[in-house]
Amino acid sequence: MESKVPDPVVAIAGVTGAVGAEFITTMNRRGFRVRRLKALASRRSAGRTVDFRGQSITIEELTEDCFDGVDIALFSAGSAASRAFAPAAVKAGAVVIDNSSAFRMDGNVPLVIPEINGRRIAEHKGIIAVPNCSAITALVPLWPIHRNNRIKRMIIATYQAASGAGAAAMQELVESTRANLEGRRFQPKVLPHPYAFNLFSHNTAIDPATGYNEEETKVIKETRKIFEDERIAIGITCVRVPVLRAHSQAITFECERPITEDEVREILSAAPGVRIVDHRIQNYFPMPVDASGQDEVLVGRIRRDLSDPRGHSISMFVAADQLLKGAALNAVQIAELLPERVPA
Amino acid sequence: MESKVPDPVVAIAGVTGAVGAEFITTMNRRGFRVRRLKALASRRSAGRTVDFRGQSITIEELTEDCFDGVDIALFSAGSAASRAFAPAAVKAGAVVIDNSSAFRMDGNVPLVIPEINGRRIAEHKGIIAVPNCSAITALVPLWPIHRNNRIKRMIIATYQAASGAGAAAMQELVESTRANLEGRRFQPKVLPHPYAFNLFSHNTAIDPATGYNEEETKVIKETRKIFEDERIAIGITCVRVPVLRAHSQAITFECERPITEDEVREILSAAPGVRIVDHRIQNYFPMPVDASGQDEVLVGRIRRDLSDPRGHSISMFVAADQLLKGAALNAVQIAELLPERVPA
Reference B12, options B65, B54, B60; nearest CA is B60
Write A32-35 long-range contacts (CB < 8 A, 24+).
A32/A332, A32/A335, A32/A336, A33/A7, A33/A8, A34/A7, A34/A8, A34/A9, A34/A10, A35/A6, A35/A7, A35/A8, A35/A9, A35/A71
pLDDT score for A339? 76
Share of chain B above pLDDT 90, in %: 97
Query: Among B162, B194, B182, B185, which residue's Cα sits nearest to residue A290?
Result: B194
Query: CA-nearest residue of chain A to B200?
Result: A287
Mean pLDDT, rounded, of chain B: 96
Is the CB of residue A178 less than 8 Å away from at least one CB of chain B? Answer: yes
Determine, for residues B301 and A155 on separate chains, whether the beta-carbon distance falls below 8 Å: no
State the catalytic residue, choosing from A66, A247, A255, A312: A247
Report CB contact under 8 Å: B235, A313: yes
Query: How would residue B269 be classed by pLDDT, with cut points 50, 70 and 90?
Result: very high
**What Å distances lie between residue B122 and A291, A331, B332, B342, CA to CA?**
51, 64, 15, 11
A134, A142, A155: best to mutate for the B interface, most B CBs within 10 A = A155
Subunit contact A201:B283, Cβ cutoff 8 A: yes
> B165-171: long-range contacts at Cβ-Cβ below 8 A with a sequence spacing of 24 or more?
B165/B190, B165/B191, B165/B203, B165/B240, B166/B17, B166/B18, B166/B190, B167/B16, B167/B17, B167/B18, B167/B21, B169/B195, B170/B18, B170/B244, B170/B245
Contact present, A123 and A141 (Cβ < 8 Å): no
Residue segments in chain A with a per-residue pLDDT below the cut of 70: 1-4, 340-344
Residues in chain A: 344
Averaged over B71-80, what is the pLDDT? 97
Range B269-286 average pLDDT:
98
| The one catalytic residue among B133, B146, B255, B312 | B133
What's the confidence (pLDDT) of residue B149? 98
Assess B195–A contact: CB distance below 8 Å, yes or no.
no
pLDDT of res. B5? 78
Mean pLDDT score, B53-60? 97
- Quick one: pLDDT at residue A3? 56
Task: Report the percent of chain B where pLDDT is more than 70.
Answer: 97
pLDDT of residue A344: 45
pLDDT band, residue B145 (cuts 50/70/90): very high
- Asked whether the beta carbons of residue A288 and residue B248 sit closer than 8 angstroms, the reply is no
**Interchain contact B160–A (C-beta under 8 A):** no
User: Is the CB of residue A279 less than 8 Å away from at least one CB of chain B?
Assistant: no
Contact list in B for residue A310 (CB cut-off 8 A) is none
- Alpha-carbon span B52 to B27, nearest angstrom: 10
pLDDT mean over B48-69: 97
Residues A23-40 as b or e (16 or more Cβ within 10 Å = b):
bbebbeeeebebeebbbb
Residues within 8 A of A (CB atoms), B 213-272 only = 213, 220, 233-235, 237, 239, 241-244, 248, 250, 252, 261
